[in-house]
Structure 1
Amino acid sequence: MLTHFFVTGTDSRVGKTIVSRALLQAMSAQGKIVLGYKPIATGSQELADGVRNKDAVTLQKSSSISYPLAKITPFALSDEDIFTSELPLDLFDQITAGLQFMRLEADTVVVEGCDGWRTLITPAQSYSEWVVQSQMPVVLVVGIQEGCVSQALMAAQSIIADGVCLLGWVANRINPCLAHYGETIAAIRQNIEAPLLGEIPYLPRAESREMAKFLDLSPLVGQSSLAKAATNNK
């Protein structure tokens, strides 16, 4: 069983939170206790009762346990650019501790990333380094729009080259007017060995909808064994 995995995207604003919601709902429907975790989030707001991040709120509402927002997103940044924000030197240790605590509470923790796979948190350090250190398997979210085929292939190649297991990918139709949608999906499927786990249609207010029906998690059964074997071989 997958105890935790990381959700990354081909870019920012491709629907990682919506896909994370769908994953949480789908696993919850299988009887699992699930928690969403977004260690670092940008675009947070300073309110009278504290810092609030809309992605963290979506994850909170999609989880089996009503976790405090401060635990779901310990680093809720107001700046839209993670690279320009000041983060502690022991950032990886802190977010690892948060993940380990959540794993004690849940069967599976869905860890949502920030922006794309190569997002920098310092001039010389990427967020993906933490995922590699933790040997977390990855689900890739592909925002279906112009240019997404090359973005998807480059992201998948980078993930695999970094030595972590690519569990699968999810297509999120963020451009409802895109021509040749079916051909685009077929081209990505042909060139990424990891399975397609689902297709999310263009939906208004998707963060408040039931999303599990758009996913098929059956391929993850075999993939989770591969991820475990890869981790054990490190």
Structure 2
Amino acid sequence: MSLNVYWAMAFILPKGVIRAVEKRMRHFLWKGNSAVGYPKVAWSDVCRPMEEGGLGIRDILALNKALMSRHLWNVIQSNQSSIWVQWIAHTHLRHKSVWTVDAKGGSWGWRKLLRLRSALLPYIEFKVGNGEIFSIWHDPWHSLGTLIRRFPSGPSRTNIPIAAKLSAVIVDGDWSWPPITDMECIEILHLLPNIHNGNDSILWRGGEFTTTWPMVYSGLRVL
């Protein structure tokens, strides 16, 4: 494992550090050492994959985000084998959903990590089971996304408590929603996902995170 990959995996790197490292890389590439050199092409083009005409040098900022997203994935999965995840749950989440928890008041690193939520979401599948894990309003199990963000007044308009789990609207393995007459919130009843046997589960699309993280890197490279 190269040194830059190790640090990019362990910490969220300040942009000042990233700029300093990339400056050294640019100078070395153009001059053969760390002295000042003259760039031949834009650094963003150099960082493109070879099949796109670049040199395949990884963009450090995108690499850092992609590697750090593994930590966010562990939080999303509530990986209790990780002491760090347990600490995050106790210190930052406190029974709140990682998808809607407010980053204000958190540490600099925690705020940066939460910014990766939208980048990871397209790679994650929420498989509805008995409904005892997923929050109706705070987890993005629905095709509309996180319902409390889509319908901020939804709990009062539907009389479904804001803290309710999906199990409140599942009976004998089928959906059993109370009548929703609000014309805005009735959209919730459209395109409901299938219900599966067993517990609710969160899956990484396309296999394991460790084998598909390059997809995340490619996505973050254009953000």
Larger of the two Rg values belongs to structure: 2
TM-score by length of 1: 0.27
TM-score by length of 2: 0.28
Question: Looking at both structures, which has the greater relative contact order when contacts are Cα pairs under 8 Å and sequence separation is at least 6?
Answer: 1
| Higher fraction of strand | 1
| Higher fraction of helix | 2
